[in-house]
Structures are given as C-alpha cells and as structure tokens.
Chains A and B, each alone.
Chain A
Amino acid sequence: MEILRVEGISKHFGGVVALEGFSMVQQENQITGIIGPNGAGKTTVFNLITGATPVDHGSILFMDREITKLPAHRRADQGIARTFQNIRLFRNLSVLDNMKVAHDMKVLYTLWEEMLRLPRVGKQERRIDEKARHFLAYLGLERFGDQKPHNLPYGIQRRLELARTLMTEPRILLLDEPAAGLNPHEVRSLMDTIRKIQEDNALTIVIVEHHMELIMNICSLIHVLDFGKKIAEGEPAAIKENEQVLQAYLGEEV
C-alpha cells in the first residue's frame, strides 16, 4: 500500500536550485534509499517532506492526505519522524529527557493540571518514563539514561537519535546519513538495527546515504539525485549498472 506520494516538489534558494520537480511514491513497510553526489538535494527532500522548509511547487500526500502546507509539528504528529545529518540532540536535556520530548505531543494532561501537579500528570509521566526506558533498552542504551548526550561517543549519539524517533510513534522514518562517521563494524550493526526496527515496528523507512554497501544491502528501491533532479529510480542491481548514475558519480567517459 502506498503511504507517501511526493509530486513534483521544487525548492529554490534565491537563484540556486536545490530541488526541481522531484517525485516519488513510497510503499508501506519498504526501505527506500536516496543517493546522489554532495549537494544533489537529498537532505532538501527530507526538509520538504517534514516541513522544515516550505515547498515552492508541487505537493506531498501522506496516507492519502495532503500535507504540503501543514506545519512541521503537525506532520510529526501524523507519524513522520526523522534523524539529522549532523546529529541534533538536545544538549541540556538528559538522554532520558531527549526521549521524552519526542513523545510530548501525545501527552494528554493540560497546562493547568501540570502547573498544580495533579495526579494525572504524575501518572502519565510514569508511563512516558517507562516508554522511554523501554525504547532505550530496545537499542541497548539503557545505561546512558541519566547522562547528557554530548558526553556520549558519536556512535551512541547516532543510535540515540534513532531511538528518539521511535518515541514519536512514527509510521515513516526518514534517516539522514545514519552511517556518517561510523566505522565499518558500527555500520554493519546499524544495518541490522535498521532492519530490526523496520520489522518490529512495521515501519516504512527512507534513507539518505553515501554509504553504498548499506544502501545496496537494505533498500529495495533507490532514487538517484544529481543537481536537484532525479536521474534514476530502480532496484539496487539496476542502479549499479545505470549509465547516468555512473556518470554522475564518476564523470563522463572520455
């Protein structure tokens, strides 16, 4: 079943074309990759889908509903979650609180109840605490709960960002270069983690990545971008052979 449909979205920054007429259809429970050279517009695709930056032209449909004009926090509430290319954890919150923040849009108590610390607040806080600890343990992070994120090793921070997205109760995960800065051993464990997350939570995942081994291994469909335009789409095996893709990465044959 189709979960996300992007139709001809474009984004210009002044005279610079970041993305031009990009379209994609994402099937549910599939892992899809978006690749392309630096500056090809991959992250822009994520920024437009999540609402971090407004779309110039085109439309985005999520679960058959138009979300093109919806503010970012509403899209998150509907189930679009993401990670960032350069990790964006909240420095002044503990690991546990970083997790809880991502669940706060689902909290039911009101501001008045919160001010007076009525019983309902404590009850729900305990539930959120449990949920946060559950997902920390799920990704093997339980012993870092009370630490501040910037004290943790880089690989752990990446993992924490992944755990945090699960707290939003997502339907689709957008992972922006999840393997950046990881060593080969960590990349392999990341691949297992992504697969595990996908299967356990019946999630749809889109990955932007430079790491070819990861993309070729876990994606069933790949979109290739170059200079803000899509130049190819297909299964990993087909993409590997594609003339245009090879040219974009390696240059013209002489």
Chain B
Amino acid sequence: MFYLKVLEITSLYTILVLGVYLMTGLTGLFSLGQGAFVSIGAYTAAIAYMNFGAPFPLALALAVIIGAILGFLVGIPTLRLRRDYFLLVTFCLSEMVRAALLYLSQLTGGALGMAGMPKRVGLPLILGSIVVITFITYSLKRSRFGRDCIAIRDDELAASMMGINVYAHKIKVFMISSAITAYGGALYAFNILFIEPNLFNWLESAKLIIITFVGGLNSIAGVIIASTIYYSFGEFFRFIDVWRDVLLAVVVVLVIIFRPGGLLQGLELLPSKLRAMRRGR
C-alpha cells in the first residue's frame, strides 16, 4: 500500500516535470510559477466537479483549457521581456494565485482548502497520462517545434533571422507547458483528495527546474528518470528529515560537476538507439 502511494505521488510529480520540460529544457525559459498552474488545474477541476456537478472527464478537460488560457494571458505581456523578467513575473504569479485562492473562500474554501472529492485517479490513469504526454512531448521534440525551441534557447536573434517568430513560439511553448501542469494539478486533486492554496509553492517550481537540469536538457528519458529517483527517494527517506535535502543537494552538485549534460547526456532511450549501443559494444 505504501509503495503504491509512493509510486502514485512520484508519477504525479513526473507529469509536472514533463510540463516544464519543453519550456525549461528545450526553450530555456525558467518559470517559478508552475505552482500557480498546479493550483489552477486542481481548483478548476475540483470546483467544476463539486460545485457545478460537471462529470469527471469534463472537469479534467476544463482544467487543461483554463491552464492553457492562463498561460496565454500571462505569456502575452511577459514573453517579450528578457528571460530574467519572465522568471520574476511567474514568481509573482504564483504568489498572486495563492492569495486569490485564500481570499475567494466562497468558492475555494480559503485556507481550509477543499476536500471530499471522490478518488477518481489511480495509478493506471496517471501512468497512462505519462505515456501520452511523453509521446506528445517527444513528437514535438523531434520535428519543427522542438528544433525551433532549441534554436531559440541557443540564439534568439539568429532564430528570428531564420524566420522563426520567437515571441509566438514562446507563447505556444508556455501554453502547452501550462496545460500539462494544470492537468497534473487536476489529477492531484482527485488522487490526494485534499487541496489547499499552499499545495505547491515556488520552491517546488524551482525543484522542477533542478530536476530538468539533472536529467539533461535534451533528454526526455533522462528527465523522467531523474524525476522518478528524486521524488521516490524523497518519500523513502522521510525519516532522515532535513538531511534528505542536503543529500539531494550533494547529488545535484555532483551531477552538475561530473555530468554537466545531465544524467543521460541528451540521449533518448529509444529501441533503435539502444540496439545501436549494444551493437557498438
């Protein structure tokens, strides 16, 4: 039972990590506001289901749509700015959403949070979602969209001279990322069954970025592995308390020093690549 719980939580977080992969990993945009999208997704789904009697699949879809719309609205004024300003604005966004959820207590239950959702999300749905999201992310990575992301990360000016609409591309990236993150939040609400305004703060957003770097900016497989290790490790080593974070920090520093390209060095674990590797040996 404990292991199942750990696996569920780990997988939920993996969805959130996949949410930032396109944005931080490929495009090099740093957001400290992922918490805002987790909350928006969780609350949208919970409110739609509990207060308005929406069926569960519709509640999930609403979470995704509202997440993408919020991403669009936040992206429009901020993604023209330099990347460091984008980081600051997303940080503020996460605080704003937290405050809004606290004060809109009529709808959100305020600091008491929301409870009483039925458990509609189990491991099969979470793992299935990971497979689908990984497929979408990987499809994007290996064609035009992913190329353009990396080009923008490397050199925005050169990218625009090659005909890429940098601003529009960043907005698309941010919207996709927001939608995935909000979806993760909605799954969270119907798995953990209790949500409150502080459920995902900016430190958690920062962890998503760190995991992306440890896994390797150019490797979805590396990012999934890093996320699985990180979050399951966190659950198993609860007894050593704060030393857990110290230990993880040491691991992160070691990885950055000795494998600056990330765990898998940009390698994707595809059947074809693995076969080629075996043949090489």
Contact = CB atoms under 8 A, between A and B. Distances in A.
A130 interface: no
A111 B155 contact: no
B11 interface: no
A93 B158 contact: no
Contacts of B218: 92
A250 interface: no
Interface string B139-183: 110011101101101110111111111100000100000000000
Given A72-B161, A93-B150, A111-B172, A117 B139 contact: yes
A101 B150 CA distance: 10
Which of A73, A81, A106, A111 has the most chain B CB atoms closer than 10 A to its own CB? Answer: A73
Interface in B12-36: none
A126 to B, nearest CB: 11
Contacts of A88: 155, 157-158
A50 B157 CA distance: 11
Given A90-B151, A90-B154, A101-B151, A114 B163 contact: no
Contacts of A107: 144
Given A73-B165, A73-B166, A97-B147, A90 B160 contact: no
Contacts of A104: 144, 147-148, 162-164
A84 B158 CA distance: 9
A84 B144 CA distance: 23
A80 to B, nearest CB: 9
B136 interface: yes
A81 B218 CA distance: 28
A60 to B, nearest CB: 15
Which of B139, B143, B145 has the most chain A CB atoms closer than 10 A to its own CB? Answer: B143
Contacts of B165: 71, 73
A138 to B, nearest CB: 18
Interface in B160-208: 160-166, 172
A116 to B, nearest CB: 7
A114 B160 contact: no
A115 B140 contact: yes
Given A90-B150, A90-B154, A92-B154, A114 B144 contact: yes
A77 B168 CA distance: 15
Given A52-B161, A72-B160, A115 B136 contact: yes
Interface in A90-123: 90-93, 97, 100-102, 104-107, 109, 111, 114-117, 121
Interface SS of chain B: helix, strand, loop or mixed?
Answer: helix
Contacts of B160: 51-52, 71-73, 76
Given A90-B154, A92-B218, A115-B140, A101 B161 contact: no
A29 B223 CA distance: 50
Nearest to A125: B143
A101 B143 CA distance: 10
A77 B163 contact: yes
A42 interface: no
Given A88-B157, A92-B153, A93-B147, A76 B162 contact: yes
A172 to B, nearest CB: 13
Contacts of B172: 111
A136 to B, nearest CB: 16
Nearest to A80: B161
Given A77-B163, A90-B151, A104-B148, A114 B140 contact: yes
Nearest to A77: B163
A3 to B, nearest CB: 18
Given A84-B158, A100-B147, A116 B139 contact: yes
A73 B148 CA distance: 13
B162 A114 contact: no
27 contacts: A50-B161, A52-B157, A71-B160, A71-B165, A72-B161, A73-B165, A76-B160, A76-B162, A88-B157, A89-B158, A90-B154, A92-B150, A93-B147, A93-B150, A101-B148, A101-B151, A104-B144, A104-B148, A104-B163, A107-B144, A111-B145, A114-B139, A114-B144, A114-B145, A116-B139, A117-B135, A168-B163
Give 5 nearest A-B pairs by CB, closest first: A105-B163, A76-B163, A88-B158, A117-B139, A72-B160
Given A90-B158, A102-B162, 16 more contacts: A71-B165, A73-B163, A73-B166, A88-B157, A89-B158, A90-B154, A91-B154, A92-B218, A93-B150, A100-B144, A101-B148, A101-B164, A104-B148, A111-B145, A125-B143, A164-B162
